[in-house]
A and B are shown apart, each in its own frame.
Chain A
Amino acid sequence: MKAITNKVQLEPKVKKAQFWTIFTQQKYLYMMALPFVAWAFVFSYLPLWGWTMAFQKFQPGKSFLDQKWVGLKYFKELFHDDQFYNALRNTLGMSLMGLLAGFVVPIVFAILLNEVRLQFLKRFVQTVSYLPHFVSWVVAAGIITKMLSTDNGAVNDLLMGLHLISEPIQFMAKGHLFWGIVTASDVWKETGWNTIIYLAAISGIGPELYEAAKVDGASRLQQVRNITLPGIRTTIVILLIISIGHLISIGFEKQFLLGNNLVRDYSQTLDLYALNYGLGMGRFSYGTAINIFNSVVSVILLFVANGIFKKITKESII
C-alpha cells in the first residue's frame, strides 16, 4: 500500500518516532544519566575550550570576542626560555624514573611476599605496606623531609651509624639528588598498594604446578622463575600498559611539596612551571601555552612508550 511504496521516505520518520517512544519509556534512565553527563561536560570538556587562551593576549573579564589574537607569540616566548627546557628535562626524567621503579619494585615485592610461608606475617606485612598509600602527599612530604633531615633524620642517623658517611648529607638541598628522592618517595608510598593486583594474580596460579616442580627437584628460585613469573605475565603486561597510560598525568604534587628554592633547577616540572609563571604571575596565556605543550609531550611519551612496547611484546595499547 502507500506505506510500502513510500518506504524509503517514511523510514527516518518511523525511526524518529521510535526514538521518542523509547525515550519516554526510558525517561528515568535519561534522568539519571544526563545531568551527570552535562556535569562532566562543564568540568572536563569546557577547560579544553580554554586552550584558545594560548593564542590570545588573554585578559580576564573581557569576553571571548574582545580578546586580542596573537598567534603563536606565547609559544615562541616559551621556546626561548631556559626555564622551559629545564622543566621539560625534569618532567621527562622524573616520569621515566617513576615508570621504571613504579613498575619493577611492586613485582619484586609481590613475589617476595608470596614466598613468606607464615600466613599471619604475610598479612601483617601486607597491611603495613598499604599504609602510606592512604596518607596525603602533604603528610608524606612532611614525614620524608623529617626522615631525610640533617638533625636527627633517621636516614642520616642510619648512614652515620653504619659509618658509611662521616657527616650528615643535606638531602633536601642537593639538586642532583632530587629526582631520586621523588622516585624513592613514590616507591615508599605506592609499592604496597600496587602489589595487590600481582598478589591476586599469583594466588590464581594452581598449587599443583608448584607441587610438580618440587617433585622434579626445582629449587625455590627456579620455581619463581619458571612458574610464578610466567603465571603473572598477563597481569604484568596489562599493568605496564596502564602505567604507560598514566605517563600522561605527570603532575606536580610531589615536586611542589618536596621541592624548595635550593633544588628548583631539578624540581620544576612543566605543570609546576605553569603554576608558578602562569597563575603565580597572572600570565594566563603563557601558562596555557605551557599546559598545551605538556599535553603534547604526554601524548608523544605515550606513543614512544607504546612503540617500544609493541616491538617487544607485539601488543599495542593504542
Chain B
Amino acid sequence: MFTKKFSDTPWSDHVFDIVVYFAITVVTIATLYPFLNVLAISFNDSTDSVKGGITIFPRVFTLKNYETIFAYSGLMTGLKISVLRTIIGTLLGLLSASMLAFTLSRVDFQARKFVSTFLALTMYVSGGLIPFYILIKNLDMIGTFGVYVLPSLVSAFNVFIIRSFIDGLPYALQESAKLDGANDFTIYWRVILPLTKPALATIALFLAVGQWNAWFDTYLFNGSKDYLTTLQFELMKVIQSTTTNADNFRGRNMTQVMAQISPESVKMAITIVVTVPILVVYPFLQRYFIKGMTLGAVKS
C-alpha cells in the first residue's frame, strides 16, 4: 500500500480532521448529555436539585425519588400493562408478519398478487383519527386491553421486510421438505421460521419498541381505566400536569405524590424507569437491526 509521509499531508487535511472530530464530539455530547443529566437528577436529593447546577453526577445521592414513585400504585399497574402489551403485541405481530411474508414469498400462491396489493395499499390509505375512533367504538373495544394489540396486528412494512429475507433463501429447501411429505404449514413452521431468525429479531425489536413506547391509544381509549393505563401514559400525565397550565388531565393522586417531592425529581425518575428497558435491549440487537434496516431500504 502507498503511504505518504506526515509532512506530505496537506494542511487542509489537518483542518478537515479537526472539523470532523469537533463536529462528532458536539453531536455526541448533544445526544448523550440530556440523558446523563436526567439520570443524575433522578438520583439527586430533590430539594437540593432545585438549586440547580447538576450536570452528569448527582450532588447529594439518594434513592428516595425512586422509592416514592414505586410506592405509587399507578406505576406498578402501568408497568404490568406495558410489559403485557409488549409481549403479546410482539408475539402476535411476529406471527402475522411471518405468516403473510411466507405466503407472499411463494410464487405459486394463487392469491399472491391480490394479498400483496391489498397489503401495500394499507401503507398509503388511512381514514384519519376520527373514523378510526368511531370504528373502535363500534367494535366495543374502548376500555379493553385489545385496543393495544389488535388494531396494529398486521403491518405491511414488517411483512415486506421479512418477505425479502425469505426470498433470499434457496427454494430447494421447501421442495425437499415437500418431497418428505410436509404440508405448507409445516414448511412454514419447521423450515422457514428457524431460518428467518435474523429478520424476525429485527422485526421483534421494532414491534417491542413500538408497543413499549405507545401512549396515544391509552390516552384516546383507556385513559379513565386505572387498571389499563400504560407506563408511557402515566409519564405523559406527570409531564403534562406541571408544564404551563396545559390541558386538564385526570390526575390520579399524582398531586399527592408531587406534594411529597419536587415534581422535577419525580419526572426524571419516571423517565428513567420508562427508558431503561430499551437501553438494556438495543445494544444487543444492534447488528440485527442495522442489517434489517439496510435490507428493507434496498428492497422498498
Contact = CB atoms under 8 A, between A and B. Distances in A.
Does chain A bind chain B? yes
B154 A219 contact: no
A295 B235 CA distance: 31
B171 to A, nearest CB: 15
Given A112-B20, A145-B239, A219-B13, A37 B115 contact: yes
A292 B130 CA distance: 10
Contacts of B124: 248
B53 A139 contact: no
A129 B122 contact: no
A36 B96 contact: yes
A22 to B, nearest CB: 5
B253 interface: no
B187 to A, nearest CB: 9
A235 B7 CA distance: 36
A278 B133 CA distance: 11
Interface stretch (B57-65, B66-74, B83-91, B267-275): B267-275
B23 interface: yes
Given A125-B28, A220-B16, A238-B297, A31 B185 contact: yes
A284 B96 contact: no
A135 interface: yes
Nearest to B98: A32
A197 B132 contact: no
Majority SS of interface residues in chain B? helix
A43 B134 CA distance: 11
A261 B125 contact: no
Nearest to B239: A142
B131 A19 contact: no
Contacts of B256: none
B297 A214 contact: no
A65 interface: no
A248 B126 CA distance: 10
Interface in A189-224: 191-192, 196-197, 200, 211, 214-215, 217, 219-221
Contacts of A200: 290, 294
Contact of A125 (B27, B103, B133, B300): B27
B184 A29 contact: yes
A28 B102 CA distance: 11
A50 B134 contact: yes
Contacts of A90: none
Interface string A264-290: 000000010011001100001001101
A48 B110 contact: no
B282 A130 contact: yes
A47 B132 contact: yes
A202 B153 CA distance: 35
A51 B129 CA distance: 11
A275 B129 CA distance: 7
Given A239-B297, A271-B129, A139 B286 contact: no
Contacts of A253: 216
Find the residue from B124, B243, B290 having the highest chain A CB count within 10 A: B243
Contact of A29 (B27, B30, B96, B106): B106
Contacts of A215: 2
Contact of B4 (A29, A37, A214): A214
A183 interface: no
Interface in B1-55: 1-2, 4, 10, 12-13, 16-17, 20-21, 23-24, 27-28, 30-35, 37-38, 52-54
Interface in B242-300: 243-247, 264, 267-268, 271, 274-275, 278-279, 282-283, 286, 290, 293-294, 297, 300
A127 B110 contact: no
Contacts of B31: 128-129, 131-132, 188, 192
Contact of B96 (A39, A46, A127, A132): A39
A147 B129 contact: no
A176 to B, nearest CB: 16
A17 B63 CA distance: 73
A196 B129 contact: no
Nearest to B240: A257
B24 A135 contact: no
A135 B184 contact: no
Contacts of A220: 12-13, 16-17
B99 A53 contact: no
Interface string A132-173: 101111110111111100011010000000000000000011
Interface in B140-195: 150-154, 156, 183-185, 188
30 contacts: A29-B106, A29-B184, A30-B111, A32-B100, A33-B99, A36-B100, A43-B154, A44-B122, A47-B132, A49-B131, A50-B127, A60-B137, A129-B27, A130-B286, A131-B279, A131-B282, A135-B274, A136-B232, A136-B274, A142-B239, A146-B267, A214-B4, A215-B2, A235-B297, A242-B297, A253-B216, A260-B245, A278-B130, A287-B130, A291-B130
CB-based closest 3 A-B pairs: A50-B131, A47-B127, A291-B128
Interface of B: 1-2, 4, 10, 12-13, 16-17, 20-21, 23-24, 27-28, 30-35, 37-38, 52-54, 96, 99-100, 102-104, 106, 108-111, 115, 118-119, 121-122, 124-135, 137, 139, 150-154, 156, 183-185, 188, 209, 212-216, 220, 232, 235-236, 239-240, 243-247, 264, 267-268, 271, 274-275, 278-279, 282-283, 286, 290, 293-294, 297, 300
Given A51-B128, A188-B31, 17 more contacts: A28-B185, A29-B110, A36-B96, A42-B135, A50-B134, A53-B130, A121-B24, A130-B282, A142-B239, A143-B271, A147-B34, A196-B293, A219-B16, A257-B240, A261-B246, A261-B247, A279-B220
